[in-house]
Amino acid sequence: MNFQIHTLYLAATILLWIAVYYAAYWLVALARDPALVCMSVGPLGVSVISLREPPRGRLLAQLTCAAVAVAGAAYVSLFLVVPPPIGGLDRSLSARLVAVCIPVLAISATRLLSILRDRRYPLWGEARMLTAVQRGLATGARIYFTATGRAYLRERFGATPREFLSMVRR
């Protein structure tokens, strides 16, 4: 086999795979989380902040949808786009399956390790929200509160989102 690797193109493609994975992952979280308080959108990505630990079924749905999305993106970028980032890949079905499964497993494994870390060292409720909002503000992210989050802030802290964010910044 004669492989031809376009390094910058491959790096950009890998970044695209990661972006597709996390976009699909967080879209499922946004669509199915009744305890969603806010989301943080910044230069380091999107974080979804929830009051309760997500159920295993939703985590499985998030991981599955994200894996399917990145598998589609990997297949298109490796076998349908001309020129591919890695030229000379075998076109047999088993080789295509392996080539698509490698990025899916690599990206999914990193997210799965993060989920396992959250389960081992759980931090939920008010403490999780405070640390996540503070981390988001420190990285220059914009914080967007949901209706549930605004009601939670009024009930728990007696503050509006703007007052809460100024309190956390101090």
Task: Please state the pTM of the whole predicted model.
Answer: 0.82
Task: Note the pLDDT of residue 120.
Answer: 84
- pLDDT for 10 equals 95
What is the structure's pLDDT at 170? Answer: 79
- Give the pLDDT band of residue 112 (cuts 50, 70, 90): very high
Reply yes or no: is the peptide bond before residue 83 cis, omega within 30 of 0: yes
pLDDT band at 101 (very low <50, low <70, confident <90, very high): very high
CB under 8 Å to 150, separation ≥6 — which residues? 160, 161
Q: What would the two tokens of residue 120 be?
A: 């081992």
Q: Give the sheet arrangement for strand 142-145, strand by strand.
A: 45-50, 36-42, 142-145
| Percent of the chain residues topping a pLDDT of 90 | 58
Q: Which two tokens stand for residue 101?
A: 């499964």
Task: List, in sequence order, the alpha helices (H) in 33-159.
Answer: 56-75, 93-120, 126-138, 147-156
